[in-house]
A and B are shown apart, each in its own frame.
Chain A
Amino acid sequence: MRAESVAYTGQSLPRVEDAALLSGRGRFIDDLGVRPGTLEAAILRSPHAHADILSIDTSAALALPGVVAVVTGRDLAALTLPMVAGLKVNVENWPMAVERVRYVGEPVAIVVAQTRYLAEDALDAIAVDYAPKPALLDPVASIEPGAALLHDTSGGNLVSDRRFSYGDPEGAFAAAERVFEITVRYPRNTGAPMETFGIVADYDPHEGVYDILANFQGPFSIHTVLARTLKVPGNRLRMRMPPDSGGSFGVKQGVAPYAALIAVAARIAGRPVKWIEDRLEHLVGAVAATNRVTTLRAAVTAEGRITALDFDQIEDCGAYPRAPEPATLYRMHGNMTGAYDIANVAIRNRVALTNKAPTGLVRGFGGPQVYFALERLVQSIAVGLGRDPLDVIHRNLIPAGAFPYRTATGALYDSGDFPAAVETAAGAGRYAELAARRDKARAEGRRYGIGLAAVVEPSVSNMGYITAVLTPQERAKAGPKNGAQASATVSIDPTGTVSVTTASTPQGQGHRTVLAQVVADVFGLAPSDVRVICELDTGKDAWSIASGNYSSRFAAAVAGAAHMAATRLRDRLARVAAAQFQAQAGDISFADGKIVAVGGASAPFARISALSHWSPGVLPEGVEQTIRETAFWTPPELTAPDAADLVNSSLCHGFIFDMCGVEVDEVSGAVRIDRYVTMHDCGRVLHPGMVEGQIRGAFAQALGASFFEELAYAEDGAFLTGTFADYLLPTATEVPDLDILHLETPSPFTPLGAKGVGEGNCMSTPVCIANAVADALGVADITLPLTPARVAALVERPEPAPPEGAGATAKPAGRPGDRTLRGEGSAFVPAPREQVWATLLDADALASIIPGCHGVKKLSPTHFTADVTLGIGPVKGRYKADVMLSDLDAPNAATLSGNVSGALGTGGGAGRVTLTEAEGGTRVAYVYEAAVGGKVAAIGGRLLDGAAKAIIGQFFAALARRAAPDRAGLFARLLGMLTGGHK
């Protein structure tokens, strides 16, 4: 057979996807329309980080117009099983809270109604009684012995603790000339695709089938998890994907638990149910990348050669170990040594549960966390040894001739030439120019730094790597797991034209274009002759557990499977043509839409390709139909983790070397990226335009991780970044230009020589920038995101003192995450102290002066509940309040404490009020502490201080009015005093 002509693969063709998307004809899940009678769901979510659910009263919600059903955790538990986790732990992993909530944003109830508007109306009418418990936010604290338990049955919040040793790390550390150590805390962030989750689910009670349309991205190993949860056999769970998906970056793996919820809601409602997640829901509860605390040590020679690494990683998976977690911790296991040749490695991996949202796949998946520690350490080694970081990198790189290269931890690196890639990037005067720019800037007194990062980007995950969380004995019992089945189907219809389907779930990567290119080349057709459909349907398509679009597997695996299927069909067509032309199959070639024999005989492609339909009798002996071919492909290199815990976690290993220069303004904390160079070896490039797009997209996302993005929680577990005004994504004005360089060493392990490329900069860029900022400021301890305040605080500069007598003081800097509102003040009340005291102590009087208070229920003389309407500006809400007076010291002092809860969130606080006699009345002084949680904290963070101040101000104004009701104009005067006297 003639080698195929490669006319299209490797070219930046215009994408077939684009015309529809550009003209508003995309078909995203919410664009598809639904069956008549489909209902819409809205989800009530927990305002508490940790609380027992005492009761849920849905009666008022059910009575509202248009409401069809309200589903609670108990209803869910009656129809489903908990979801299995990626590790063995005695934790009930429900997708909706049953009896207890464990993170802010956890689903508590689902309302199903005629419209989303009506469903949201009903959310406000559900009354949930919670008993809050202390929240555990810090993974290090949560795994300490004696810490309160998130799950009573788990035996601890430490749900996995594994140690690994490869080579002889102890020996290497004992013999080391120098040892360097670094501890880093990598923050929580997320992929934040522009399209949120969407699901339309239906249940057929007669066949017992769930039909779920969802913008899920795979891996379809989750299909088995869902089928088990929904208590149906695999063939009774049909999952379908819409043609278009608005980005995922890993995150839409997290659709799965919601698919279970909406499926059950549809079953209970007896009608199809649709749910489109909103942005607040997405940020609070969709999927977060893990935050991780890593202590990394290196044994190093005096020249900077690293002889051993010792990782201690504590992974925070949030409140539930949700499958496939703790995969983030193990995805990089084979390549923990990165781009370096290091023979001795020790690893301790611990998984902690905390009162935060569960974690899952996010672009980079484990890479950012590992490389932040490793590449920060490499820079500290250079600083510590007084060497150029580039020199330390060079000294440790895996040498060029070493491929395929087996790492200490078990990965088999397929191909590469790391030294050449680094030299190319740093060469042509690029590194020298950065150094010159730094010298010049520093000579002018500016803060300029250079950062470097060398990383290995794994792609095409081994489905077995996650079993490394089990001990070899546990693995032996469970049976080996390995491989990465990719599948594609190529078919020829009776008019002889070619169609392709694959078990991939593109979210904008242009799969249809690339598949058309690859398959067109096989058949000698134009890409426009090939029609590609990517709308995976587990009821009809060829798929397996590795199906989906993640771990950058498309170019390396899926496109290769399509190539295989097409090649098999073509080889059969060649034999059919040979019979027609009286020629040898080896003399047949495919080009320009024709099938040609060496002797000159030829026919249009369709004439031969359609024969299987119209005249199967003419097919030569032994040649099967040419109608449809499905190829499954799994690479033999992806073996199961072995008894020594060697793990080949991924098939392909690309290489990235990044280099940047930044200038830091030490007053404002602004960081300007002056130059950024990124060198990639992603094997063979199938579509240069798309590869560039992936690199630029990942770079922008990495800038977000570097400077802007953190899913932030307060110490009490309140979630603080619930809107796009608080969780900041970079825009066009924040993303600088980028120099992209390439070196191509094709992968010998993939059909087309391609490797993944879409995640690399999420791994390399945050640490490259951190290294540059560290270099600019001469500091060692860098935490992301590098917000202006954080950067400015890295520079020790004494602050000018407040002017004498101004009374202003620097408040002690709050602990990070401490969002407690504190305040103090005093007011003069023109009434005798006894009278003020009496007012305070009389629950009715007190209730009457609490702003917006009504419906008082007195539980004791000093304890009452009430409904209050609180608000600031237009933000008004009704809350239930519980108010108590304690520590009475008549008539001098009392502690006033209260809790409120309502649809907008929760609040609690306490204040000590002291009364002293003053000229003509009483001086009322107060200090308070308050904390706010739930929706209002997540979306109105910057309002809260002002709100607390205003409400407390109103309270004391009312107290004064009440205690001395007969003084005209008092209210206004007091308000003036309050504002003035308030600190």
Chain B
Amino acid sequence: MSRELEYIRCHICEAVNYVNEKETKCRRCHEEIAPNLRLSYHKTLAFLITAIIFYIPANLYPILVSKQFGKTTTNTIMGGIIHLWDAGSYPIALIILLASVFVPLLKFILIIYLLISTRHNLHSSKVDKHKLFYITEIIGPWSMVDVFVVVILSVLIHFSGVQIFPGEGATAFGLMVFFTMISAQSFDPRLINQQKGDTF
């Protein structure tokens, strides 16, 4: 057993705790620090599946609906990006592409990878996996950019003849980001330290 295995970093107060079977509360903030690993694994998986399910309508349904003198046009996320690209707004198109398409996919893949690596020996370094997990948590919320943009536009473009609304896609997208964040938060970093064959 490596040295790090015996110590837990409390995710609330960041205090270092020495693990023993009896004490599962942090010595400083008294919050739960050693939740059941099996439960943590299944919660992460369940929230991730929910997020992936919401990702489908988030891309198929319009994120933006605009009404111009009775005429309705809709835009999906990809449609919006292509539109921006054609109009020559390359930096904005790239920001939206990164934030709305790549970041969620990257997060899904990463969480799946981390979950698989707890059950199978993938010969990857623990330090690298901790770093990857840290980065996913940092970049995750940035997927909200497109939803925020639509809400801001719906407040500003709100005239009697011309109006912009968030579409069903925006709701699905917001929920997708919410469940991805909950999924990552349910993931206990101790799962990374699991050895092959460890039961939990």
A and B part of one assembly: no
Report A's interface with B, CB cutoff 8 A: none
